[in-house]
Amino acid sequence: MSKKNAFYAQSGGVTAVINATACAVIETARRNKRFISNVYAGRNGILGALTENMIDTNKETNRTIAALKYTPGGAFGSARYKLKSIKENRSEYERLIEVFRAHNIRYFFYNGGNDSMDTALKVSQISQDLSFPVTCIGIPKTVDNDLPVTDNCPGFGSVAKYIAISTKEAALDVLSMAQTSTKVFILEVMGRHAGWIAAAGGLAGIEKGDPPHIILFPEIPFNKKAFLDRVKQSVEKYDYCVIVVSEGARFANGKFLAEAGTKDAFGHSQLGGVAPVLANIVRQNLGYKYHYAVADYLQRSARHIASSVDVKQAYAVGKAAVKIALEGKSGVMPVIKRISNKPYRWRIDIAPLSKIANKEKMLPRRFISKDGFSITKSCRRYLAPLICGEDYPPYNKGMPKYISLKNVPVAKRINTKFVV
233 plus 315 within the same structural domain? no
Together in a domain, 129 and 160? no
* Mean pLDDT value across residues 60-68: 98
Both 42 and 126 in one domain: the answer is yes
* Overall domain count for the chain: 2
What one-character-per-residue DSSP string does 242-262 give?
Answer: EEEEETT-B-TTS-BTTEEEE
Please tell me the predicted confidence (pLDDT) of residue 269.
Answer: 55
The catalytic residue among 115, 118, 144, 146 is 144
Residue 419 lies in a domain: no
Share of the chain above pLDDT 90, in %: 86
Same domain, 196 and 324: no
More confident residue, 38 or 123: 38
Inter-residue contact 300 to 200 (CB < 8 Å): no
324 domain-assigned: yes
CB 212 within 8 A of CB 243: yes
One domain, residues 13 and 45: yes
Compute the average pLDDT of residues 132-149.
96
Cβ neighbours of residue 294 under 8 Å, at least 6 residues apart? 188, 273, 275
Q: Classify residue 412: in a domain, yes or no.
A: no
Strands (E), 84-163: 105-112, 135-140
Give residue 310's domain range.
Answer: 5-142+306-359+391-400
- Given the DSSP bridges, would you call strands 135-140 and 184-189 parallel, antiparallel or unpaired? unpaired
Q: Which conformational region is residue 101 in: left (phi greater than 0), alpha (psi within -120 to 50 degrees), or beta?
A: alpha
Residue 23: left (phi > 0), alpha (psi -120 to 50), or beta?
alpha
Sheet holding 345-352, edge to edge: 54-56, 39-42, 5-10, 105-112, 135-140, 332-340, 345-352
- Asked if residue 167 and residue 266 are part of one domain, the reply reads yes
pLDDT of residue 419: 80
Q: Which run of H or E residues covers position 9?
A: strand 5-10
The yes-or-no verdict on residue 271 having pLDDT over 80 is no
Same domain, 287 and 318: no
Average pLDDT over residues 304-312: 98
What is the tens place of the pLDDT at every residue in 226-260?
Answer: 999 999 999 999 999 999 999 999 999 999 998 74
Answer yes or no: is 189 within a domain: yes
Give the full edge-to-edge strand order of the sheet including 241-246.
214-216, 241-246, 184-189, 290-294
Q: How far is the C-alpha of 40 from the C-alpha of 48, rounded, in Å?
A: 10
297 shares a domain with 178? yes
Using a cut of 0.75, tell me whether the model's pTM lies above it.
Answer: yes
Phi/psi of residue 230, nearest 5 degrees: -70, -40
Pair 228, 216: CB distance under 8 Å: no
**CA-only gyration radius of the chain, Å:** 22
For 32-38, the CB contacts below 8 A with 24+ separation are 32/322, 32/326, 33/3, 35/3, 35/4, 35/326, 36/3, 36/4, 36/5, 36/6, 36/107, 36/322, 36/326, 37/2, 37/3, 37/4, 37/5, 38/5, 38/6
Catalytic-residue membership of 144: yes
Question: pLDDT digit string (tens) for 278-294?
Answer: 999 999 999 999 999 99
Residue 208 domain-assigned? yes
177 and 232 housed in the same domain: yes
Alpha carbon distance 192, 266 (integer Å):
13
Examine the fold and report which residue of 268, 287, 303 is the final residue of a domain before the chain moves on: 303
Q: Residue 289's domain is classified under what CATH number?
A: 3.40.50.460
Assess if residue 59 is contained within a domain: yes
Whether residue 78 is predicted with pLDDT greater than 70 in this model: the reply is yes
Q: 193 and 95, same structural domain? A: no
| Cα–Cα distance for residue pair 378/369, rounded to 1 Å | 10
Do 164 and 261 fall into the same domain? Answer: yes
pLDDT digits (tens, 9 = 90+) for 157-204: 999 999 999 999 999 999 999 999 999 999 999 998 999 999 999 999
148 in any annotated domain: no
- Non-local (6+) Cβ contacts of 305 within 8 A are 158, 161, 162, 165, 390
CATH number at residue 74: 3.40.50.450
Instruction: Give the model confidence (pLDDT) of 343-374 as tens digits.
Output: 999 999 999 999 999 899 999 999 999 999 99
Between CA 220 and CA 368 the distance in angstroms is: 9
Confidence check: pLDDT of 102 > 90: yes
Identify residue 232 by its one-letter amino acid code.
K
Asked if residue 278 and residue 174 are part of one domain, the reply reads yes
Contact 68, 41 (CB under 8 A): no
**How high is the pLDDT of residue 89?**
85
For residue 292, report the phi and psi dihedrals to the nearest 5 degrees. -140, 160
Asked whether the beta carbons of 95 and 103 are under 8 A apart, the reply is no
φ, ψ at 242 (rounded to 5°): -110, 130
pLDDT at position 261 is 42
pLDDT at 264 over 60: no
Domain assignment present for residue 414? The answer is no
